């Protein structure tokens, strides 16, 4: 018999966060989160997402053994302002037992129905900046700090329980040596002159901080037409600043400004922390922080996290300016491999940007949906 227990205290929340450490302890590809960061993400007094969302966390037990977990999330901004009557589920992990998956997801459905919502979809987080999608292809590639990993049987469970694929995301890889530098160098010269644009040349965090709010404004504008979009609130901006600023090399954030100093494009690249995170196994102390700092400085793999362009400048070659700047930075740092983090498979405009980079799709992931 499967029993559910809702998380009500710090001890139970830690059990929720650390369950995957048990489930994936023998995996070469799962990348553990930092436990303290994950606890903060799921704490209403730490994460401002809870100002606009309700979340319930459930643990599943079989014969007194912890065998699964799920987060049931109601995003009220999405429901009331965007009229998307979605019940979200995320942080879904389970042993290979269909009854466990059914028990967890039935609880999510129950909460969705209690709010008169129309469908349930997951795995997703609170917003666009959280992890989303269950891995459907590429199980033999190491994960990243920005994505969830899962066993292949998750997909079988979703399908057997009547969940249908909803959105598909792709992740791809290209080698630095294959970057078409001549092409975007030429376009860069044309675009900067035609539109009177200039790239940023920041090397210190304190130089970047004054522009972060403008970056989030541009993020909301440039991504607003995507089907997955939920705006990032002011409180969430401050939270993400604090959460991610220590993981990003200042020279890996690129801005493009017009002649009036308005930001028209931005991009964020992260060094890969995957191997370092596997080494520290969720703990920053006593030596985990030093290992992450070493990876930040020395990683030869980078993750292209976000690119945003002012709608007026989209499809006008502005990304060539960003790529030119990144090429110089990555060459200096002797980067070998570049990973494009998940983007919607039907986002053809984004894929067009990368068409000359000789990208190889290495992972696919999907969200799954069920009508209520």
Task: Note the pLDDT of residue 209.
Answer: 85
pLDDT at 238: 78
pLDDT score at 82: 87
CA-nearest of 233, 229, 267, 223 to 248 is 267
The confidence score (pLDDT) of residue 72 equals 98
pTM: 0.92
Q: Which residue has the tokens 């060459």?
A: 331
Dist. CA 297–CA 277, nearest whole Å: 14
Residue 362, CA distances (Å) to 47, 171, 178, 354, 366 in order: 32, 6, 17, 15, 14
pLDDT reported for residue 322: 93
Q: What is the CATH code for 174-362? A: 3.40.630.30
149 CB contacts (<8 Å, ≥6 apart)? Answer: 24, 27, 29, 30, 31, 135, 143
What whole-number distance in Å separates Cα of residue 357 and Cα of residue 320? 12
- Which pLDDT value is given to residue 245? 72
Q: pLDDT, tens digit, for every residue of 296-308?
A: 999 999 999 988 8
Which CATH architecture is the domain 2-171 placed in? 3-Layer(aba) Sandwich (3.40)
- Indicate the domain borders of the chain: 2-171, 174-362
- Write down the pLDDT at residue 248: 81
Which segments of the chain have a pLDDT < 70?
226-229, 246
Angle at 37 between CA 36 and CA 41, to 5 degrees: 120
Asked if omega into 286 is within 30° of 0 (cis), the reply is yes
Tokens of 7: 């998380």
């Amino acid at each position: 018999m499967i029993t559910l227990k809702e998380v009500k205290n710090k001890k139970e929340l830690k059990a929720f966060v650390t369950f995957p450490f048990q489930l994936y302890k023998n995996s070469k590809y799962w990348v553990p989160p930092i436990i303290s960061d994950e606890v903060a993400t799921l704490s209403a007094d730490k994460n401002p997402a809870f100002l606009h969302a309700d979340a319930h966390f459930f643990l599943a037990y079989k014969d007194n053994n912890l065998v699964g977990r799920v987060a049931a999330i109601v995003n009220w901004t999405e429901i009331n302002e965007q009229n998307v009557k979605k019940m979200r589920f995320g942080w879904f992990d389970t042993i290979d037992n269909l009854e466990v998956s059914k028990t967890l997801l039935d609880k999510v459905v129950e909460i969705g129905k209690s709010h008169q919502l129309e469908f349930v979809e997951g795995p997703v987080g609170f917003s666009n900046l959280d992890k989303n999608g269950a891995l459907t292809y590429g199980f033999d590639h190491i994960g990243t700090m920005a994505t969830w990993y899962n066993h292949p049987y998750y997909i079988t469970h979703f399908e057997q329980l009547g969940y249908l694929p909803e959105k598909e995301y792709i992740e791809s890889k290209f080698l630095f040596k294959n970057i078409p530098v001549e092409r975007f160098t030429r376009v860069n010269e044309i675009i900067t002159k035609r539109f009177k644009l200039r790239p940023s040349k920041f090397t210190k965090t304190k130089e970047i901080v004054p522009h972060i709010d403008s970056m989030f404004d541009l993020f909301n504008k440039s991504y607003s037409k995507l089907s997955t979009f939920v705006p990032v609130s002011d409180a969430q901006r401050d939270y993400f600043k604090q959460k991610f600023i220590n993981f990003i090399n200042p020279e890996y954030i690129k801005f493009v400004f017009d002649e009036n100093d308005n930001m028209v494009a931005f991009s964020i690249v992260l060094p890969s922390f995957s191997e370092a995170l596997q080494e520290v196994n969720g703990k920053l102390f006593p030596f985990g922080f030093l290992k992450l700092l070493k990876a930040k400085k020395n990683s030869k793999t980078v993750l292209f996290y976000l690119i945003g362009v002012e709608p007026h400048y989209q499809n006008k070659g502005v990304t060539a300016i960003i790529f030119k700047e990144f090429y110089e930075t990555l060459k200096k740092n002797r980067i070998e491999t570049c990973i494009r983090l998940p983007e919607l498979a039907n986002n053809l405009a984004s894929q067009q940007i990368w068409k000359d980079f000789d990208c190889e799709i290495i992972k696919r992931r999907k969200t799954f949906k069920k009508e209520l």
